[in-house]
Chains A and B, each alone.
Chain A
Amino acid sequence: MARIIVVTSGKGGVGKTTSSAAIGTGLALQGNKTVIVDFDIGLRNLDLIMGVERRVVYDFVNVINGEANLNQALIKDKRVEGLFILPASQTRDKDALTREGVEKILDELSQEFDYIICDSPAGIEQGALMALYFADEAIVVTNPEVSSVRDSDRILGILASKSRRAEQGLEPVKENLLLTRYCPERVERGDMLSVEDVKDILAIPLLGVIPESQAVLKASNLGEPVVLDQESDAGQAYLDAIFRLQGQSVDFRFLNTEKKGIFKRIFGG
């Protein structure tokens, strides 16, 4: 049975798709058979971030409507073994997803995969509800700013009341906080909420802190998940988070401003 993990946030533009791509790719790199499912019907982005946009033939909605089978729609990643992408439809809207249809596809994927990463659209409407309904676990992507934290709080409330686990009275959806676009310099200046501030408000376990990084933008534009860029701080921070997701204990990095060492001062950073 696969672990179904929804990557969600409420607010848009905080890094859900980037995180879905990075975490899915990282899990596959570590030997887990992983599929990333794009639930953002009508605004499909995951295939761009994953660099597979030219290979999309059939999509999620085609499979739900029985116009294609799952194996026709799944795109196999060429870089990482055991990594697949199920793209969203660009021409339809979010009402094309039915609960029965989504359940059938997730059941089928569960037979084959270790991890199913559901990349949720922003908002708290149909699309987002569908993405989180069947989840066993949630990664709540949050930026260290007030509106993002508040939207995350809202989505946590929805996870606790509108997910399948909540409706059927099962063990609740496991919640993880992923803080992205973190900038220690701005926290020190008091322009940005700190890790502690966000943890205090949301009161859920911290999965990872991804520093604000040029590497993320570069990775998106190249269609290479940032986790493949092992030189970058963001890529390393995602890998740490993926270890934690699998139950390992890893120290948090990139939380403080970098102190320039003597060599960096002499030779330049």
Chain B
Amino acid sequence: MSQTGIELKGSGFTLSVLHISTTDISVVREALANKIAQAPKFFEMAPIVANVESLKGDEVDFHTLKNALQSLNLVPVGVSGATDEQKLQAKAAGLAVMVAPKTNSTENQPQPTTVIERVEVPVIERVKVEVPVEVKVPEYIPAMQLKQNVRSGQQVYAKDTDLVIIGSVGNGGEVIADGSIHIYGALRGRAIAGAQGDSQAKIYCYNLQAELVSINGTYWTSEQLQKHGWQQAGCIELDGEQLSVKALTE
């Protein structure tokens, strides 16, 4: 610690970015409210940046926007993709002007990228010819792996990936993943899979005694789970609108 009691350092954070394509804030608010209703916990007091790039300089009422975001329990931190005039207005509304990162990918899903690899092909005349070959390489995010028990009061979140726990999740513990959750032990606490919206996410556990399981916002409490594979090894998945529990072993 420095002698002044503070230290100023640059650091990068992951923020949710709200892309706005209309100047009608009430429309924005309603659409956002619907989105939040799917995973209210996840969005609670989440910092958010408003991107106004697609408005191409149309006038935005940043005061109303800020109030709308706050009323949804979000924390508006700044504006990106703004024109010079919009920047002034945003500052006047008490919002920071952010510089958008230079990427085109706005999707959460990893996009396959095309990579050119050079492969050596031996030719009969013993002449080496280099042939460019196209190979598709999916962007790969390794699963978050934990070899420990998640105890009461602890929370684990695997962002953009799967969560593997070698151990048990105790009552009052909470495990969250944007992908699937695998628990090689008992699940006695809460498990929330597909937290950012993935209906294909699943929850696997050796012994199902959960307080709550949720996939893509659809949840069951322990009361409902009593009738479905309670204290068994199981896989919980989303079957249309309904959750279902399938036995892991016959």
Contact = CB atoms under 8 A, between A and B. Distances in A.
Interface stretch (B132-140, B146-154, B220-228): B146-154
A168 to B, nearest CB: 16
Contact of B153 (A154, A201, A203): A154
Contacts of A158: 153
16 contacts: A153-B151, A153-B172, A153-B173, A154-B151, A154-B152, A157-B150, A157-B154, A157-B173, A158-B153, A160-B148, A160-B151, A161-B154, A200-B186, A201-B168, A203-B149, A203-B168
A209 B150 CA distance: 25
Interface string B159-200: 000000001101111000000000000101000000000000
Contacts of A153: 151-152, 170-173
A160 B151 CA distance: 10
Main secondary structure of the interface of A (DSSP, over half): helix
Contacts of B171: 150, 153
B187 to A, nearest CB: 12
A156 B188 contact: no
A157 B152 CA distance: 7
Contacts of B188: 201
| Number of chain B interface residues as a range | 10 to 19
A197 to B, nearest CB: 12
A203 B150 CA distance: 11
Residue among B167, B168, B170, B172 having the largest count of chain A Cβ atoms under 10 Å: B170
Contacts of B172: 150, 153-154
B170 A201 contact: yes
B170 to A, nearest CB: 4
Interface in A203-261: 203
Contacts of B153: 154, 157-158
Contacts of A160: 148, 151
Contacts of A161: 154
Given A154-B172, A200-B186, A203-B168, 14 more contacts: A150-B171, A150-B172, A153-B151, A154-B152, A154-B153, A156-B149, A157-B151, A157-B153, A157-B170, A157-B173, A160-B148, A161-B154, A201-B188, A203-B167
Residue among B153, B172, B186 having the largest count of chain A Cβ atoms under 10 Å: B153
Contacts of A154: 151-153, 172
A160 B199 CA distance: 34
